[in-house]
Structure 1
Amino acid sequence: MIKFGIIGMGTRGQIYADTIKQSGTAEVAAITDINEESLEVNMEKYNTNGYTKFGKMFEKEKLDAVIVATPDFLHKDPVVIAAEKGIHVMVEKPFSTDLKEATEMVEAIKRGGVKCLVGFENRWNSPFVAAKETVDNGDLGEIVTLNSRLNDTIYVPTKMLKWSLNSTPGWFLLSHSIDLACWLKNVKPIRVFSVGTRKKLVSMGIDTYDSIQATVAFSDNTHATFTSSWILPETMPLLYDFKYEIIGENGSLYVDLHDQMVKKATGRFEHVHTLGTQINGKLTSAPSQMLLSFIDNIRYGTDPIAGPEDGLLNTKIVNALHKSIEEGEIQEI
């Protein structure tokens, strides 16, 4: 059995723990959480050892792999320590919100010779898997442009995340959209120009962007546009609204994750979240499929489809788009 440690037992950490329990080839050997009450509950729930500090977990436990499910800006230390100890790592996206730290993380992973999967979960999300297969089959011809809109309701930065002040729609949302563009096109991005708005959240005491729009240029003289905000009203049918348009020389694709085929009308009208619905008690969501693929990477010695170099590139792009907003100029990637 592959022994996993999980750092951070919020919603994501619990999804991963449940997935490991169902895998049949791995087990949750230890967990960490700075919230002692949460830690106690999850130690009992998963019948495992628990620590309030991940450093202590690394000292006490013999682990094969670790999942880093900490806030966006707190990925470096657990990743580097795990790599130095020869422990395989799955780390949530974005890889890092700091370019220098991201570079150090990649170097540590290479030195340690460990496998690393970066949690760009939409590479395992069935609509995007289907889109990727269509692109790779050549049905669209060469991709000419991509247009993405990924928004969250204001619930996310004001209630769901306790640390949104230390993030932006760029790090939290655009990192998904931009990774998909790089994955779908498989062409080097070379420059970015972006703008951002700070109004609503600042008025609520959260000094971060409400929305960001960016244009990325690729080395094949094509472009992609991205927009993300996280101030949609909480009355939206779903927590998020994700639409993706892929236009090629010979055809196009339109992905709409907001319309998940089932609508419910009771006291209010809402969309039922169907992607990732459990089937016969089995977890089918993109995060679960991503983790199961990582377990297979460890078992069979294969490389993750979203590795540290993908994470570093994503950090470079999102870092550059923030710099573009601040300086009002095009930034080279």
Structure 2
Amino acid sequence: MVKTGIIGMGIRGQMYAESIEQNNQASVEAITEVNNESLEKNKEKFNTKGYKDYKKMIDENDLDAIIVATPDHLHKEPVIYAAERGLHLLIEKPFSNSVSDAEEMHNVISKNKIKCLVAFENRWNPPFVAVKKEIESGNIGEINSINSRLNDTIFVPTEMLKWSKNSTPGWFLFPHIIDMACWYNNKDVKKVYAVGTKKKLISLGIDTYDSMQATVTFDDGTNAVFTTSWILPESMPLIYDCKFEIIGEEGALYIDLQDQMVKHAGKSYKHLSTIGTSINGELTLPPTYMLNSFVDSIVNNTAISADSEAGLKNTKIVEGVHRSIKENKAITID
């Protein structure tokens, strides 16, 4: 049994706890949450021990793994504390929003030879997995270019994330689609150029970017273009809109997560989110499949692809995006 502690019981932490409850090889032994109301609610909900201090949780329990589900900018300290004690780690994306912090985290994880999975959940998302298999089959030939956009409605930075001022759509959304491009292309990014807009959210008292656009160049000379925004109107069919286009030398592939096959017409027109629909009471979410893979890797001692090295590379690219915007020039990625 993989005895697990969870740090951060927001939307993601609760989802991971629910997923663990359905995994017969893992258990939620303890949780950490700084909000008193949330801590008490989730202690009762998951029938587990609760702490406000993650160090105390780790020190007082015989744990095998830790899930770090804190906000983007609060990953480093709990990751290092857990890694130094030999605990396996599942870390929310982005791995870090600082390259220096990400390098330190990666070095400690590698030194202690623990398993680490960075939550690039689309590697377990059926449409993206189907495309990966199609690329590997050779049916579209070598990838020539990639175009992708991932947007959220304005509900996300204004209501859902109380800490959005400490993040950007680049840190919150780009890691997903940039990881997919690297996973598909299997190439390293060498250069990035980006632009960004600050207007709408600043007018609402939230000092962060509304949108960002980035062009990255891979080491084989091919390019990918990424667009992200989190100020879409709340009338959108879903809270997010993700499109992906992969153009190969012999064909092309297209992903549209906005259209999930079911549409509802009534007082308003909306799409139903079918990816992740529970069946027979069981979760079918990509993050659930991802967590199950993490547990399996611990139980069976198998390798993880979305590891701390992938997380570090991703952080270097996304930090490069932000540097490019600030410095108004192309940035070389080491």
5+ residue gaps, structure 2, are none
- Secondary structure at the aligned position of 1:196 is classed as strand
CA deviation string 1:26-50 (max 9, x = no partner): 1000001001111111111111100
- Secondary structure at the aligned position of 2:30 is classed as strand
Displacement of 1:112 in angstroms is 1.2
- Secondary structure at the aligned position of 1:132 is classed as helix
**Structure 2 equivalent of residue 86 of structure 1:** 86
Displacement of 1:303 in angstroms is 1.3
**Structure 2 equivalent of residue 274 of structure 1:** 274
- Aligned equivalents of 2:59 and 2:308: distance in 1? 25
- Secondary structure at the aligned position of 2:234 is classed as coil
- Secondary structure at the aligned position of 1:283 is classed as coil
Percentage of identical aligned residues: 59
Q: Which runs of 4+ in 1 moved over 2 A?
A: none
- Secondary structure at the aligned position of 2:316 is classed as helix
- Aligned equivalents of 2:289 and 2:267: distance in 1? 34
**Structure 2 equivalent of residue 37 of structure 1:** 37
- Aligned equivalents of 1:59 and 1:69: distance in 2? 19
Q: TM-score, normalised by structure 1?
A: 0.99
- Secondary structure at the aligned position of 1:73 is classed as helix
- Secondary structure at the aligned position of 2:74 is classed as coil
- Aligned equivalents of 2:130 and 2:218: distance in 1? 23
- Aligned equivalents of 1:38 and 1:327: distance in 2? 41
**Structure 1 equivalent of residue 95 of structure 2:** 95
- Aligned equivalents of 1:303 and 1:71: distance in 2? 26
CA deviation string 1:202-242 (max 9, x = no partner): 11110100000000000111000000000000010100000
**Structure 1 equivalent of residue 182 of structure 2:** 182
- Aligned equivalents of 2:273 and 2:279: distance in 1? 14
Aligned AA for 2:203? Answer: S
Q: TM-score, normalised by structure 2?
A: 0.99
- Secondary structure at the aligned position of 2:194 is classed as strand
Aligned AA for 1:211? Answer: S
Displacement of 1:163 in angstroms is 0.4
Aligned AA for 1:202? Answer: I
Displacement of 1:111 in angstroms is 1.3
- Secondary structure at the aligned position of 2:232 is classed as coil
Displacement of 1:251 in angstroms is 0.3
- Secondary structure at the aligned position of 1:228 is classed as strand
- Aligned equivalents of 1:208 and 1:165: distance in 2? 6
Displacement of 1:266 in angstroms is 1.9
**Structure 2 equivalent of residue 131 of structure 1:** 131
Please say if 1:240 is aligned against 2:240: yes
- Aligned equivalents of 1:11 and 1:3: distance in 2? 21
- Aligned equivalents of 1:66 and 1:218: distance in 2? 34
Displacement of 1:252 in angstroms is 0.3
- Secondary structure at the aligned position of 2:231 is classed as coil
Note the aligned Cα RMSD (angstroms). Answer: 0.6
Aligned AA for 1:65? Answer: A
Please say if 1:257 is aligned against 2:257: yes
Q: How many matched pairs?
A: 333
Please say if 1:46 is aligned against 2:46: yes
**Structure 2 equivalent of residue 222 of structure 1:** 222
